[in-house]
Structure 1
Amino acid sequence: MSVSYKVSREPGNTPLKHWPEDYVPGGKQNARWLTLQKGPDAGKKLFYYDVTLGTEEPDKTLLFVHGNPESSYTYAKTIAELQNRTDVNVRVVAMDHIGFGLSDQASFEMVDFHHAHNLQQLIEHLDLNNICLLIHDWGGAIGIGSLIDQAERVKALLIMNTTVFPIARDGKWVYDNFPFPGVLSWNKLAAWFPNKLWPYLCSMIVCRPIYSSPGFALESFRFSIRAMFGKLNQQETLYRDMFNSDINSRSSRRNARQTHRWGYGYQYHDPLVGEQDNSKFYQNIQGKISKLWGGKIPALGFFGQWDVLAKPSVLQQWCAHLPQLEDRISLYPKRGHFIEEWEYVDIANGVVSLLNDMRSGHFGNGD
């Protein structure tokens, strides 16, 4: 039996009260909120937009899925580039996960499989098909996890600094020592960092062009000075304000705390929803992705190389499961994790290439 969803044009209890006009393509009048009907977030409002770029009725959909600690706004530059292209005619859908951006605040400490279950409801409501799926960071597990059991909806894939596979314990960087060893590694930092300062850390790492450990330290100092004197820009303020909620910060931190178990499965206890374990969620993805999509749909990758997710063993896992990615991954040695914030022109060109591949039925290796 299908579920009847309620859609509103008014936000719920998001802590983000001020947001820029370009947060939504075409302006704020295109903002929508879906009331979730299933799972522990039933009754909460999930922000999304569903707009058309171009003048004709589109037959393809770009589905943008963000990670942590981002929101759908991380794709605004890419979408703006696509809006300026006269050869693009496509449906564009993006959302903010619960606890992020313009969606309702979290009620418990959420990780990827919770967000994937919510995204499934949006996909069901909008009946999305002929999808080009664009994923970054934890949006990889969220996006693929939400669609792997209805894989026929997906016709192309664009990946950006993400993985759905167990990250090998090889090379210089693992999440136990990146960007600094000891208590300053990302997952350990997320475990002890205070909620009141978490919004500032998140804002800094998303918005600043960091691609080295010394650069991270220097940008942290500069950012702290500007924050102290109220000199943050509009984008930095946005990413700070969406975590001006204790539970949103705690939920975001919980998601970051699983980085050392990325792709392996992660267990924890939440006082509201009890024992949580995403191991089967990952096993489901890993057991099906190659069979369903390997060599069967066009795919591209864009990776900033100052990142655990860009080391050779991670890229090799992607290519082993999706051989069509061979020679179709662009690497940027002077970029870090948030590649979509800086290489949006290349990414937009990649989107156009994938749309052409979807149209022609021919693409790279493995076709």
Structure 2
Amino acid sequence: MTQAIGCRVEATPGNTPITHIPDDYMPAGSGRWLILPEGPDAGKKLFFYDHTFGGDGKRKVDATLVFVHGNPESSYTYSQVITEVERQAAAGKSCRVVAMDHIGFGLSDQASFEMVDMHHANNLKQLIAHLNLTEVTLVIHDWGGAIGTGAFIDTPERVKHLVLMNTTIFPMPLQGMNCTNFPMRWLPWNTLGYRVPWRLWKHIPPIVMFSSVGPWKMITRTLDYTLRAISGRLTEGEVLYRDMFKTRSNALSSKRNVKQTKVWGHGYRYFDKDQGWQDNRAFYQNMQKKVPECWGPSGQHIGVRGFWGEWDPCARAEVREQWQEALPQLSGHMQTFPEVGHFVEEHKFVEIAAGIVEVSGLG
């Protein structure tokens, strides 16, 4: 395995605020922390796990799956999908599974500035080089779409297949349903990044990630969560996502991603008190140009699958059409779920796993 110069790995965590790790967070013994050698996060510990199941260990694996999460998630959001992939894979097939927690999320070190997708993509590039990931089935959700695509697009030959879930790298239509009027016109998602104080932000992720479809169900979910939080009856997953953002630095970094949703895919400029002016417009333009060129029919013509929870701006028809225009091979390979919202991987993990198994040749 080729390592990037200057990379090293440790087996102990850094300053993550999470103190209780669910038993199914990762395959036993697979967790590691990469000490990032470059960029604004140099010296920080990036959590990842690298696990292989099936096969005899003597030949090349049949597939390499790389799972990239978004905000306000961690790699744990894919735990049910990954379990299902292993269950559904054909006997004798071997699969390498790689998943990571971005800085400021999960078991990685806390953020030290307000990070967005281009910063996380730069960190992921270092992990890709360290693990020498090739022939990858890239699985992306939410901001993981821009992070994962942005990390791989300058070495596009590393990607063999792409699996999309409620994500975009293209300019979100400014008319119709978007993050300035969803899920409620009087309380849109984008404004929560401004309205909710950092001390209360830790309660937003466990509420929205496990909420049912519809404004009133979200309100009911909020009341139910509040009562159970007061009485100490939260689930392991709810505790995990709450504790992940109980520090000011992680909460502010997560809130910055939410502020960006107003112009998702258009590019974004903001001022960070530690890093100065930050601008990810060139980051998006690079992906928007190279994805069709490199991964479309005139390039590598990679296999693509899409899964969409329809109660979500990221799943609206116009967004799906943008993906299909860039990657025409996606036609006939999308599943939509009207009764599901943004966090489709938490609800339709059986169907998503089946798509991953099929496209990556594990069936």
Give structure 1 regions of 4+ aligned residues with deviation exceeding 6 angstroms.
Answer: none
Structure 1: unaligned runs, 5 residues or longer: 360-367
User: Does 1:319 find its partner at 2:324?
Assistant: yes
| Match in the other structure for 1:54 | 54
Task: Tell me how far apart the structure 2 counterparts of residues 285 and 86 of structure 1 sit (CA, whole Å).
Answer: 31
Partners of 1:81 and 1:287 lie apart in 2 by 34
1:190 and 2:193 aligned: yes
- Tell me the CA shift for residue 60 of structure 1: 2.5
Equivalent residues of 1:164, 1:263 under 8 A apart: yes
Shift of 1:177: 0.6
Cα distance in structure 2, aligned partners of 1:298 and 1:2: 28
Say whether the 8 Å CA contact 2:4–2:126 is kept in structure 1.
no
Measure, in 2, the Cα distance between the counterparts of 1:111 and 1:169: 20
Match of residue 96 from structure 2: 91
Matches within 5 A, 1:266-285: 266-285=268-287
Q: In 2, are the aligned partners of 1:60 and 1:129 still within 8 Å (CA)?
A: no
Task: Name whichever of 213-222 and 337-346 sits farther off.
Answer: 213-222
Confirm or deny that 1:213 pairs with 2:218.
Answer: no
User: Which of 46, 55, 69 is equivalent to 1:66?
Assistant: 69
Matched with 1:302 is 307
Alpha-carbon RMSD across the aligned residues, in angstroms, is 1.4
1:158 to 158, 163, 178: 163
In structure 2, the partner of 1:234 is: 236
How many residue pairs get aligned? The number is: 353
- Establish whether residue 174 from structure 1 lines up as the match of residue 178 from structure 2: yes
Residue 148 (structure 2) aligns with = 143
CA distance in 2, matches of 1:356, 1:34: 29
Instruction: Tell me the distance in 2 between the aligned counterparts of 1:274 and 1:122.
Output: 25
Q: What is the TM-score of this pair, normalised by structure 2?
A: 0.95
Paired with 2:194 and 2:129, the residues of 1 have a C-alpha distance of: 35
86 and 302 in structure 1: CA distance in 2 versus 1, 3 angstrom threshold:
closer
Distance across 2 between alignment mates of 1:328 and 1:194: 41
Paired with 1:212 and 1:162, the residues of 2 have a C-alpha distance of: 20
Report % sequence identity.
49
304 and 19 in structure 1: CA distance in 2 versus 1, 3 angstrom threshold: same
The answer (yes or no) to whether the contact 2:63–2:361 under 8 Å persists in 1 is no
* Structure-2 residue corresponding to 1:363: none
The alpha carbon displacement at 1:211 in A equals 1.1
3-state SS of 2:357 partner: helix
TM-score relative to the length of structure 1: 0.94
Q: Residues 122, 211 of structure 1: CA spacing in aligned structure 2 closer, same or farther, 3 A cutoff? A: same
